[in-house]
Amino acid sequence: MSLTKIIVGLVFFVFIALVVVYGIPQVLQQLQNGDTEKSVGPTDPLVVLQDKNEPYAQALSQIKAGNYADALVSLESGKALATTPEEHANIDFAIADVKLNLNRSEGIDAYSALALDTAYPERTRALSLLRAFLMYKKFNDVAMLQQIAENHSIKWTIPEQVTYEVMRQIADLHAFPYAQVKMLEFELLSVSDNLVAQQLFNQQNPLILASIESQKPYSGERTELTSAMLGYANLLSQLYFNFSAVSSTTVSAAYEDLIEYDIAQNIQVNKQYTMLAYANFLAGNGQFDKADRLINLLLEESLTPALQESLPKTDIQVAYPYLYSALLPGTLDEKVKSFISSIGNKLN
């Protein structure tokens, strides 16, 4: 038998074996792709822009180093070299980010200007309004939300109602998962029947999960992505406690997966907020030892400046009600109790 026939026979044998194990469609797809380990997602527009626009790439390095004033100059130079509306929009979005780090009020106005300009793609406009809102959430700075409301012709009432109106404007432009989660939360506020809550969740859950997955390839949207993932975990917690619509295992998995994701992506602010939210869930579920360990892990780190600013302005009874209720004898250790008691007051 010739060597060629032996090789052909071996290839055919391997192909048949793969078909038996994986099935014909999967094998054909793997053979067509040529690499079973790689999956091709949508091209990240910021990576493409960084490769072709030198001032923009320089600005990213300056931002990473905290040189925001120099980054603003570089971004203006990069904007002059932009060749498409999408590139202009991405650079203007980066300019708003830099301005927020230099002056919050100017940053919010820059986000709003981009969000209201119909010349820009609707996705970018929605992203800009969402980023402005998440900066308010990050620092718990009500003045920022009031400014957003004024810029977007939203009547000021209470933060919860303004939040709803902001989410509605975002959803009208693009289906970002954070807005989807918040809109479902608002719907659930008027629901008292467990079955109705379960039906609403079953309808929206696939859409939310698909939106979260679709946002993962975009490197410039980690803030929005991880905020949506935390919002989703908090939504599951709400469904567990209020409607028995999901299992405690499902809720725990959502928080733990997010903490692992934040660690891998080095997203400290969201990770610390997630640890607090998860500890609140654990306390509500009577898992005080695990809540203790989680808070102690948090206290071993340095709280980010965002949390140092936000927590003293936080109403613990609203934001972390189960941790607040756990401030009873025989639940949490004294170090953890001291930290929880400090929320809403000045942190030491």
CA 150: distance to chain centroid?
Answer: 25
Is residue 12 over pLDDT 90?
no
Note down the domain range covering 320. Answer: 267-348
Structurally, how many domains does the chain consist of? 2
DSSP 3-state of 133: helix
CB atoms closer than 10 angstroms to residue 174: 17
Q: Tell me 175's DSSP state.
A: -
Tell me what pLDDT residue 244 has. 96
List the beta bridge partners of residue 75: none
Tell me what pLDDT residue 348 has. 40
Tell me what pLDDT residue 328 has. 81
- Do residues 320 and 343 touch, judged by C-beta distance below 8 A? yes
289 assigned to some structural domain: yes
Choice between 268 and 6, residue whose per-residue pLDDT is larger: 268
Q: Per-residue confidence at 26, pLDDT binned at 50, 70, 90?
A: very low
Q: Per-residue pLDDT tens for 52-63?
A: 788 888 998 999
9 assigned to some structural domain: yes
Q: Per-residue pLDDT tens for 263-322?
A: 999 999 999 999 999 999 999 999 999 999 999 999 999 899 999 999 999 999 999 999
313 assigned to some structural domain: yes
CA 114: distance to chain centroid?
Answer: 21
Structure tokens at 160: 């919860």
Rounded Cα distance, 304 and 245, in Å: 34
* The residue to which tokens 């002056």 are assigned: 103
- Maximum Cα interatomic distance, the chain, rounded to a whole number of Å: 86
Q: Per-residue confidence at 37, pLDDT binned at 50, 70, 90?
A: very low
295 assigned to some structural domain: yes
Q: Per-residue pLDDT tens for 192-239?
A: 999 999 999 999 999 999 999 999 988 889 999 999 999 999 999 999
52 assigned to some structural domain: no
Sequence-ordered alpha helix ranges (H) in the chain = 3-22, 24-33, 45-52, 54-64, 68-81, 85-102, 104-116, 122-139, 142-151, 159-173, 177-189, 194-215, 222-243, 248-265, 268-284, 288-300, 305-310, 316-319, 321-325, 334-342
Tell me what pLDDT residue 69 has. 95
164 assigned to some structural domain: no
Tell me what pLDDT residue 169 has. 97
- Do residues 131 and 96 touch, judged by C-beta distance below 8 A? yes
Rounded Cα distance, 329 and 206, in Å: 42
Q: Per-residue pLDDT tens for 113-172?
A: 999 999 988 999 999 999 999 999 999 999 999 999 999 999 999 999 999 999 999 999
57 assigned to some structural domain: no
Is the dihedral angle over the CA atoms 17, 18, 23, 25 positive or is it negative? Answer: negative
Q: Tell me 304's DSSP state.
A: P
Tell me what pLDDT residue 45 has. 57
Q: Per-residue pLDDT tens for 95-111?
A: 999 999 999 999 999 99
* The residue to which tokens 């203007």 are assigned: 92
